[in-house]
Amino acid sequence: MGDLVGRWWNRKRGRLARRDIWLERDGDAYLVRAREGDLEGNETSWRYACEPDARARVDQLIDTDGGPAAWNDLTSLYQPGEDPPAPPAG
């Protein structure tokens, strides 16, 4: 796992409704990870050479699942160099 750049949650709980998105920097590349469901849900990832392309994927994922108003940007809750806190249970 690389350095966290962005983190989003769709504000829903439960193994079927929950969605999470992470944007990470891994060396010279950017990784977008998207998970459907809880901790045991399906996760998909995409690797990009630049941050704007990675952010475009994040925007696409958010837009196809309720739009920005339906998502909570959790990025500011994370401190550089710290392990991210556990996501809300459910």
pLDDT digits (tens, 9 = 90+) for 21-74: 999 999 999 999 999 987 778 999 999 999 999 999 999 999 999 999 999 999
Contact 11, 71 (CB under 8 A): yes
Whether the full predicted model's pTM is greater than 0.75, yes or no, is: yes
Gap between the Cα atoms of 65 and 12, Å rounded: 11
